Amino acid sequence: MATTDLVHDPEERRRPLQRFRFLVGHFHGEGHYTQGANVFHKEVVGSWEAGGRFIGLRMSVTYPLADGRKDIHDAFIMIGAQSTSGSWLAQAYTDGGSVQTYHLELQGDTISFADQLPTVHGIKIVRARKSLIPTVDGFEERLEIDRGTGRFEPYSAIILRRIAEG
């Protein structure tokens, strides 16, 4: 469906999201929790959308269960810049039917945002923060939690390596 647009410069349209460009491509990784030996697998496909005005991220996370089954969750995230404020928003649409809005912050090259609280039995969690940090061949995703102390501590991390260009 994509055709060559001889009127609009795609790089001009992409300018507000240039610092998010590291999310474009096909990525895969194995994540780890700071407590316990459980792992999870994540695949992400990021692409420029609407002529470069947005970045779309298709994600699939697989959590292996003790009984050999797999708990799989899929989501689609659309990242865009608000032209009036210069801030960035993401809308996440999940396979469970929920829609979440995230207000993204840039600190250097790192994207951070308040995230959904992980469901963990026996642990009180009052806040969660996710960070996406570019690496040479992809990006690292870190989730930190606050147990009510006012300080964030590591909860999980995953290195997503590029397996194909976007």
pLDDT attached to residue 68: 92
pLDDT attached to residue 13: 56
Beta bridge partners of residue 137, listed in sequence order = none
- Sign of the CA dihedral with 59 first, then 77, 23, and 14 last: positive
In this predicted structure, the answer to whether residue 118 has a pLDDT above a threshold of 50 is: yes
Residue pLDDT, tens place only, 19-52 = 899 999 999 999 999 987 789 999 999 999 988 8
Residue pLDDT, tens place only, 54-90 = 999 999 999 999 899 999 999 999 999 876 666 899 9
Average pLDDT across the chain, whole number: 89
pLDDT attached to residue 94: 96
Q: Which amino acid is at 119?
A: T
* Paired sense of beta strands 54-64 and 110-114, if any: unpaired
pLDDT attached to residue 20: 93
Alpha carbon distance, N-terminus to C-terminus of the chain: 16
Contact 132, 23 (CB under 8 A): yes
Residue pLDDT, tens place only, 80-105 = 987 666 689 999 999 999 999 999 99
pLDDT attached to residue 96: 94
List the domains of the chain with CATH numbers: 10-164 (2.40.128.20)
pLDDT attached to residue 29: 98
